[in-house]
Structure 1
Amino acid sequence: MIYVNARFLTQKVTGVQRYAIEICKLLPKEILERKITFIAPKKAKLNPLFKEFDSIAVGKLEGQLWEQIDLPMFLKKKGNPLLINFVGIGPIWYKNKIMMVYDLAFKHHPEWFSKSFQLIYNWFIPMSLNNSKHIITDSNYVKNDLITTYNLPSEKINVVYAAPSSVFVKKQMNKEAMILMVSSLDPRKNMTRVIEAFDQLNIPHKLVIVGARGTVFSDLEIPEPIKKEKIKFTGYIEDEELVELYNKAELFMYPSLFEGFGIPPLEAQKCGTACLISNVTSLPEVYQDSVEYCDPRSVSDIKNKIYDVLTNQKKRNALISKGFLNVKKYNWNRSAEDFILIIKNNINKKVN
């Protein structure tokens, strides 16, 4: 038997949950004659995916307590089978697990997170990593960061890239005078500098910001914009509406200060929209020459790059073409194949 920690089915879908869902949809029923079962807290029954996956609900607790108490107790009764942990810390003392890590922002920038979150993650993630049979991450940037930060052996870590969902496609829609951002409302997404830069520009465009505030992040002080009538916060929206915004936008912005991969620009590229993103962490690895880059800590550079791309149709067309080529490098089917191979290679590996 192989179990998947499906606590992510109790959480709102952001980048890490989307990664887990997309890979899990492509996992077979069995790997090397071992049945795959999704195990989750009882609250997960509310998610339609609970029935789509071969799932069971166990225990009486929720959240971290379920993961650290109910889950390992259940696994011990089943003979300590292989566990796949896609999101969060995972049961820290359980060793027969493959653990997914998306980035180490909590380690390098604890000020971006709530005090309780960053304390828990900085205390328990190193333990869980050391107690894992194998680790998977979403970019070479994060792999190297794990090796350097926690002195982990390179052979213990594999990279499996993310990809855009099939729901994001180019539609026959006219572009509008709109700049689009898609991200959670947290400090590392850098929207305060974007708002400052936008306020300094004399352009007809509106700025649309899609995303909701997460409970794990520290408070984000959003400046009172001068052109507040031209800035719209939509909150969380469903993919069907998001596809239309991607298609209508003339420019997609992702000036993040820290990313382990960064899926939204791929979604925008798939919808035929030019992208302006930051030049830090994993983003140059993922996007190479298919985007315009900016210094995320410079309001003036963000402002100048926005103006340059929006006033240069030839550049936008070139970025759109390069975007379509770049997005072809990333495919959930290929990523799932890589993930399955890693599981096969670790099923019978002895637990230290």
Structure 2
Amino acid sequence: MIVVNARFLTQRTTGIQRFATEITRELMALRDDLVLAVPHGPFDDAGLDRGRIVEVGRLRGHGWEQIDLPLFARRGRHPVVNLTSTGPVWYRPQISTHHDITYVRHPESFGLRFRTLYALVVPRLIAHSARLLTVSAFSRDEIAGHFGVAPERFTVIHNGVDDRFRPAPTERGRPYLLAVSSPNAHKNFARMMSAFAAFSPAHPDVELRVVGTQTNSFARQRYDDAHDRVRFLGRVDDAELAALYRGALAFVFPSLYEGFGIPPIEAQQCGCPVIAARAASLPEVLGESALFVDPYDTDDLAAAMSRLVDDEPLRARLIEAGHANAARFSWRRSAERVSQVIDEVLAER
């Protein structure tokens, strides 16, 4: 039996939880030896087979992960698979996933408690894991370099894109640019809104729509001086998000640091051209399929907004390139690679 650390089902969905949920969904279709362990109490099953979900222990949160989860797995010395960035630090055998080290590179985006916890848990989890997973070659090299481990210990498992994100007929209303993320410091939203303010006088009909809210782990950022054509939409479901991608003139992703970056791929699969920062993993993930900008240069970002709004042939070329790029990523193919890693750990036992 393989125990999946399914604490992510008790958490708000961000990119990391999306990865964990979709990889688990595909693994359950590929294998019949998985059990999903969750803390007692409310959780969202995300459409996963409840017959394979087991409520374990009495604790919640990190206490559950460090005490109740390993006690449950130890009864049969079952391997544990962690698909988010934390896990039971002393348990063996286990496979752990580390998405990035944003909390190291951009500590201003995170609260002290979060940074302290990760500083304690992550190095020990890396040291005690039989296999390590991460989401890009960029993250592999970043994590390996920071923690002093061999890059060869990591298997790169890319994110995928849900089939709900696809082209469909869309009624065009007021034109808008779209951004999707938590508005925290490393996401670079302050520069994006300064760029939009510079872009706006020549494009008086275009709005900037921002989807997403902050989680409790992040230090709060405020945007009280936002342009009057910036609309904060909060959290939306996948159907609403797909519709927003389809209707946008362009998707703007100015983030300074990403381990992978799922939203640009979702946008591309919906037929939306992408403006992206030339930073971190984004050139690796997007290749030649996006209009890249210097994320620290608001003039460059404003110029890119103008180019995509005004240049229809450029938009068409990026839409076509985006479709081809998004097709490179698949939750099923990624889960097959995770399954191979599980089989390697089982063989070693």
TM-score interval (norm. to shorter): over 0.9
SS of corresponding position for 1:323: helix
179, 184, 187: which one pairs with 2:185?
A: 187
Q: TM-score w.r.t. structure 1 length?
A: 0.94
C-alpha contact 1:164 1:330 (8 A) present in aligned 2: yes
Superposed CA deviations along residues 50-85 of structure 1, whole A, max 9, x for unmatched, are 654611001111000110111112222x13210000
Superposed CA deviations along residues 300-323 of structure 1, whole A, max 9, x for unmatched, are 111111112211111111101100
Counterpart in 1 of 2:340?
Answer: 341
Query: 1:278: how far off?
Result: 0.4
Matched, 1:161 2:158: yes
Matched, 1:261 2:228: no
Counterpart in 1 of 2:111?
Answer: 114
Counterpart in 1 of 2:245?
Answer: 246
Amino acid across the alignment from 1:209: V
Matched, 1:149 2:149: no
The alpha-carbon distance between structure 1 residues 310 and 122, as it changes in their structure 2 partners (threshold 3 A), is same
Query: 1:119: how far off?
Result: 1.0
Amino acid across the alignment from 2:131: H
146, 169, 172: which one pairs with 1:172?
A: 169
C-alpha contact 1:38 1:53 (8 A) present in aligned 2: no
SS of corresponding position for 1:173: coil
Q: What is the CA–CA distance in structure 2 between the aligned matches of 1:161 and 1:245, rounded to whole Å?
A: 24
Show the 5 A alignment for 1:219-298. Answer: 219-225=220-226, 227-228=227-228, 230-298=229-297
Counterpart in 1 of 2:211?
Answer: 210
Amino acid across the alignment from 2:178: L
Superposed CA deviations along residues 148-187 of structure 1, whole A, max 9, x for unmatched, are 1112123321001111111101011144511000112222
Counterpart in 2 of 1:16?
Answer: 16
C-alpha contact 1:272 1:320 (8 A) present in aligned 2: yes
Q: What is the CA–CA distance in structure 1 between the aligned matches of 2:162 and 2:327, rounded to whole Å?
A: 12
Displacement over 2 Å in runs of 4+: 28-31, 43-53
SS of corresponding position for 1:272: coil
The alpha-carbon distance between structure 1 residues 299 and 48, as it changes in their structure 2 partners (threshold 3 A), is closer
The alpha-carbon distance between structure 1 residues 5 and 332, as it changes in their structure 2 partners (threshold 3 A), is same
Q: What is the CA–CA distance in structure 2 between the aligned matches of 1:54 and 1:148, rounded to whole Å?
A: 37
C-alpha contact 1:143 1:157 (8 A) present in aligned 2: yes
C-alpha contact 2:177 2:250 (8 A) present in aligned 1: yes
Q: What is the CA–CA distance in structure 2 between the aligned matches of 1:196 and 1:223, rounded to whole Å?
A: 13
Number of paired residues? Answer: 345
Q: What is the CA–CA distance in structure 1 between the aligned matches of 2:189 and 2:241, rounded to whole Å?
A: 18
Superposed CA deviations along residues 312-352 of structure 1, whole A, max 9, x for unmatched, are 111111101100111111111111111111111111325xx
Matched, 1:66 2:67: no
The alpha-carbon distance between structure 1 residues 119 and 299, as it changes in their structure 2 partners (threshold 3 A), is same
Amino acid across the alignment from 2:298: V
SS of corresponding position for 1:179: strand
C-alpha contact 1:29 1:35 (8 A) present in aligned 2: no
Matched, 1:123 2:124: no
Q: What is the CA–CA distance in structure 1 between the aligned matches of 2:68 and 2:345, rounded to whole Å?
A: 24
C-alpha contact 2:25 2:48 (8 A) present in aligned 1: no
C-alpha contact 1:274 1:291 (8 A) present in aligned 2: yes
SS of corresponding position for 2:97: strand
Counterpart in 2 of 1:7?
Answer: 7
The alpha-carbon distance between structure 1 residues 273 and 48, as it changes in their structure 2 partners (threshold 3 A), is closer
Gaps of 5+ in 2: none
The alpha-carbon distance between structure 1 residues 224 and 53, as it changes in their structure 2 partners (threshold 3 A), is farther
Q: What is the CA–CA distance in structure 1 between the aligned matches of 2:138 and 2:42, rounded to whole Å?
A: 32
Query: 1:188: how far off?
Result: 1.5
C-alpha contact 1:192 1:223 (8 A) present in aligned 2: no
The alpha-carbon distance between structure 1 residues 48 and 19, as it changes in their structure 2 partners (threshold 3 A), is closer
Amino acid across the alignment from 1:347: L
Query: 1:95: how far off?
Result: 2.5
Counterpart in 2 of 1:88?
Answer: 85
Q: What is the CA–CA distance in structure 2 between the aligned matches of 1:68 and 1:300, rounded to whole Å?
A: 48
Deviation larger for 341-350 or 197-206: 341-350
C-alpha contact 1:9 1:50 (8 A) present in aligned 2: no
Q: What is the CA–CA distance in structure 1 between the aligned matches of 2:110 and 2:247, rounded to whole Å?
A: 33
Deviation larger for 44-53 or 88-97: 44-53
Q: Percent identity?
A: 32
Q: What is the CA–CA distance in structure 2 between the aligned matches of 1:53 and 1:24, rounded to whole Å?
A: 14
Q: What is the CA–CA distance in structure 1 between the aligned matches of 2:276 and 2:46, rounded to whole Å?
A: 34
Q: What is the CA–CA distance in structure 1 between the aligned matches of 2:22 and 2:44, rounded to whole Å?
A: 19
Q: What is the CA–CA distance in structure 2 between the aligned matches of 1:141 and 1:332, rounded to whole Å?
A: 19
The alpha-carbon distance between structure 1 residues 208 and 53, as it changes in their structure 2 partners (threshold 3 A), is farther
C-alpha contact 1:23 1:332 (8 A) present in aligned 2: yes
Gaps of 5+ in 1: none
